[in-house]
Structure 1
């Protein structure tokens, strides 16, 4: 079997899909994208296709090694995301070739269902208590919220109190039997994290996400030692090498993204590294249906899995949503806040190719917002 074509499709609201076709009629799908840099990743996929077309798609590990190490310059979000989408598509082809789901090819499932969480609020969260209660009533047992909008390096007591009040309101709305995740989104300096974490401890978050920016991971150990709240990070890390420092820092939860951190192949290895550090996995996935399907295949197969992000109905998905590009959305519908184990081959979903082609005629040029502080300086989004 040989790869005969690799085509990419920019589809709303902000995704890039990859279709890999073979000479035996088996098609694999992947989702290689950096949000806001989709065209750049698309160009990287096209460059990598020069090597892959004509190759046997089942040599997944060999191709991963060539794609990540065959060029003199390595790593970074664009290359790693391009490789990630290709890797997903090759695993999809492998599963369809052997008639088995990817989780079976990874050693078999270790759980029968995967716990999911639902997003509440947006970039500037408001009315989060009511939104949280809606998601609990819909069957979810965990919700995630942004902790704040933009914050200055050391913000005022009022702004600090607003963060705490929102978290307190959500905890009150969902009760002690459900979980709350707070995402600092890199908007909080190390100094503000030191101020906020003790104040949030009474509300027992499942974890705090991105308590510091990735470039300040060296500060994470001191924060972890000073709080009882589990700290999570990793959505902006792209390889095992990137995670080496994080896993030794006292982080409790690793969050690699299967569309950014080298795909199924690399995230499986990151999970094994995390397990050796007693760190659990809560993979990042605010993306489309292919990335979510790939994430779930991993979640069924890795023993140190904690909870899975998903973006059905997330505030970014304006006009098109996760299930719009599937022939049958059932594999990505959740029961009682969980995804159920499936046995469909490959990634376990059937992409609606006609829907993809129609959407690609519209395309997108999504860019993340650029925020500023009151003094005109750049604020972290």
Structure 2
């Protein structure tokens, strides 16, 4: 069977949407398996910029798009996205897991309450209700898509959730949920069974994660993380497929590093140089609009991502943006208490980052190739795609690689 799982190697916002959109035309099925509308995909087509959050990034080119069971769904947002994307594609086939959990207004309120309660220790959450939605899922009081077959059950669950959060629940909240659900109900199905039978029949599939490796709930910079499994380790749980169905793994890394929210960021660039890179790269969150923190490429971080995700390939994005700087630095190792180490540990403190310098490639394309070869030598994994612009077709394939 032909499958490829694509994950982010950093803190999210690596350009996975562009890579997945580019790759998806080669696959029969594209599958989103984690997160919610806290993630954002940006695809540029003929000068038109599309930004969406729940529908798989391969929606515009693949034959079938699947929102799997690991995703938490804001029904209102989903309806809006489908309405938007159908302006660009009419003949789509969308399938939504019947056991995916939904995000309610109560989750939004809970998210804002918890973030305010943290005070100076705020995480920097997107306030999209994602954490509370997973909280209710694992607390066994969440609402699943399949529950809408029983109106009484949904209303009772909302009331119970309101008691837990100590928030009032009006009938209109349930009415609104049913209104949006009815607009997408025709897409709801047992996606695990669909995927299993499709792959057994020889169809190909592209699996896409939301967010990045180092905001994974288990392996990220806890507590400054998201609430889902963002690595290749999450694809089995998020789809209901056993490990035997997953054959190849690709990591997407921005040519530099960015982060939204609080938490570790060893190679962060502050001051005017950081402002310049942020401006060049239009580094403002797709979901929040907040300015992203920016920094140099972090080899120890990528090294950890390669090992944790068992990556076979790496795609490098926004090389054109980084190339606008006159002098380019790359973090190659850390120091802590006088000891040098070369792999990122989300639970350790970095006292110092050691850098190597590279010349810009804005006037010499060969310098980008040297930069890429250095990354490959350090990671022991081939860089097979390089993003050289924001348009979907501005992607270079290196060597004779193909999916």
Q: Is the TM-score greater than 0.5?
A: no
| Bin for the TM-score computed over the shorter chain | under 0.3
Give the TM-score, by structure 1 length. 0.28
Give the TM-score, by structure 2 length. 0.27
* Structure with the larger strand share: 2
* Structure with the larger helix share: 1
